[in-house]
Amino acid sequence: MSESGGAMDEVFSEHPGTPESAVWLKGQLLRIASALYPDRRPVVVREWTDPVRLRDPEPVGHRFLFLVCAGGDDRPSSPGFDDVLHAFTAEGWTTHRRSSDHPGESRAQARREDFEVRVYEGSGPGLLTFTGWTPVVYTGRQSGRPRFTLSTVRGVLCDDCHGWGVCLLCGGRAYSGGSGGYGRCVCAGNNAGPGRCVECGGSGALTAKATSWVRKRYGLPDPDGTGSFPQVPAEGGYDSGTSALVAVSERPCACGEFRCFWRNRLTDADDRTLALFAGICQGCAAQRAYAFELPRRRLAADQVEDLP
Ligand SMILES: [Zn+2]
Ligand SMILES: [Zn+2]
Ligand SMILES: [Zn+2]
C-alpha cells in the first residue's frame, strides 16, 4: 500500500479525513490504468461517497467511490479487454467477466478483499472505465455490511431497508420475547419471511414492479428494454469522449440524483464522430441519454500513412 506514497500525500492534503482504504483504491485504479496506457494520463472522472443508513436518516457510515477513465480517445492501440483484466490480475485482483447485455460492450467485475471494481468498455470501441468502491467505512461501531449502496446496486436501492435486504425494525432477526409479549416483528408475518425486508423481499433493490411504480410517481415512461441508445440532439464543446463523460457525470437527473452507470458508444455517422451516453438513473429509474459531437477522430488510414 505504500507504493503510491506520492499520490497518498496529494489526496490527503486535498481531502482531509479521506480513509486509507479510499486512497489505496484510487491509487490502484490509476496504477492499473497507467499500466494499460503508459503514454496517457488516466482521468479521475468523479469521486463521491454513498451514505449508509440504518433506521435513522443520519448515515452510520460511507462507502467511497471512484470513476476512472482509463482510455478510449484516440488510443494508439486498444489493449483489448482480456489485457485489461490481466492488468487487474497482475495487481492481485480476481476478475469475473460478465456476459454483456449489449453487443460491442464489455463488462467485468474485479474483487480484492472487500474492494470491488466494475470494469466497462463501451462499443466503438468507446471509453474504458473503472468504477471502484471501498468497503463501508463506519463512523462509529461497525454494523455489518449492506448488500448494496446507492451506486453499487443494479437498479434502484430499496428505500425501506436502504439496501440491507433485512427488516430494519428487527435487524433481520426473528423476535423472541421482546417488550410486547409475542414480540414477533411485522416482517415475520409476511411471506417474505422472518427478518427479510418486506418491500424488496430481501434483495436490497426494488423489484421491477416497484421500480415501474417509482417511474410512474415521477411521470416517466418505462424504457423500451432494448438497451439501444436513445436519439437525442448532439451537443458540441467537448474535444474528447473523456471530457464529455466528465461533464455527464456532473449532471444531475431531473430528480436530483447524479448516480448513474453510464454506458457509452463512439460512432462515426454522417461524417461526424459522436460520443453517446445512456444510463438508468439510480434515484428515479429514468432513462437518461446524452450525445456529443467530437472533433473528427483520426482514422486508422491516417495512422497507417505515418508508418515507415
Ligand atoms: Zn428492502
Ligand atoms: Zn422485522
Ligand atoms: Zn432520476
Shared domain for 72 and 32, answered yes or no, is yes
50 C-alpha to ligand 3 centroid (Å):
16
Per the CB < 8 A criterion, the answer to whether 165 and 200 are in contact is yes
Q: What are 82-113's pLDDT values in tens digits?
A: 999 999 999 999 999 998 888 889 999 999 99
CA distance to 106, 152, 168, per residue, from 134 (Å): 23, 11, 23
Q: Going by C-beta distance under 8 Å and a sequence separation of 6 or more, which residues neighbour residue 305?
A: none
Query: What pLDDT score was predicted for residue 131?
Result: 98
Q: How far is the centre of ligand 2, averaged over its atoms, from the C-alpha of 199 (Å)?
A: 11
**Structural domain contains residue 56:** yes
Verify that 9 and 79 share a domain, yes or no.
yes
Ligand nearest the Cα of residue 280 is 3
Ligand nearest to the CA of 198: 1
Residues with CB in 5 Å of ion ligand 1: 158, 160-161, 197, 199-200
Instruction: Kindly give the interhelix angle for 20-36 and 5-14, rounded to the nearest 10 degrees.
Output: 130
How many structural domains does the chain have? 3
In the predicted model, what is the mean pLDDT of residues 150-160? 93
Quickly count: other Cβ atoms within 10 Å of residue 238's Cβ.
18
Range of the domain at 207: 156-217
- Which of 107-121, 138-152, 235-249 has the least mean pLDDT? 138-152
Residue among 104, 107, 80 nearest 96 (CA): 107
Is 126 within the bounds of a domain? Answer: yes
Of 217, 236, 252, which residue constitutes the final position of a domain? 217
Q: Residues 158-176: what's their mean pLDDT?
A: 82
User: Do 197 and 308 lie in a common domain?
Assistant: no
Residue 218 CB burial class (10 angstroms; 0-12, 13-18, ≥19): middle
Q: Does residue 131 share a domain with residue 3?
A: yes
Residue 151 maps to a domain: no
pLDDT at res. 190 = 56
Q: What percent of the chain has pLDDT over 70?
A: 82
How far, in Å, is the centroid of ligand 1 from the Cα of 164? 7
CA of 50 to the centre of ligand 2 (A): 24
* Alpha-carbon span 100 to 116, nearest angstrom: 18
Give the pLDDT confidence score for residue 299 in this predicted structure.
47
Query: How many angstroms separate the alpha carbon of residue 300 from the centre of ligand 2?
Result: 60
Which ligand lies nearest to the CA atom of residue 283 in the structure?
A: 3
Strands 106-112 and 94-98: antiparallel
Q: What is the pLDDT of residues 63-78, one digit of tens each?
A: 999 999 997 665 555 6
225 and 199 both lie in a single domain: no
User: What distance in angstroms lies between residue 163's CA and the mean position of ligand 1's atoms?
Assistant: 6
Task: State the distance from the centre of ligand 3 to the C-alpha of 210, rounded, in angstroms.
Answer: 15
The domain boundary, picked from 197, 217, 237, lies at 217
Say which ligand is closest to the CA of 255: 3
pTM of the model: 0.86
Average pLDDT, the chain: 84
Last residue of a domain, one of 116, 145, 174: 145
Q: Cell 449502496 belongs to which residue?
A: 149
Residue 182 clears pLDDT 70, i.e. is over it: no
Report the alpha-carbon distance of residue 303 to residue 90 in Å, rounded.
31
Provide the CATH number for the domain around residue 7. 3.30.2030
Instruction: For residues 164 and 179, state if they share a domain.
Output: yes
Residue-level pLDDT at 151? 97
Higher pLDDT, 75 or 128: 128
Judgement on whether residues 120 and 44 belong to the same structural domain of the protein: yes
Residue 150 lies in a domain: no
Q: Tell me, what's the pLDDT at 4?
A: 39
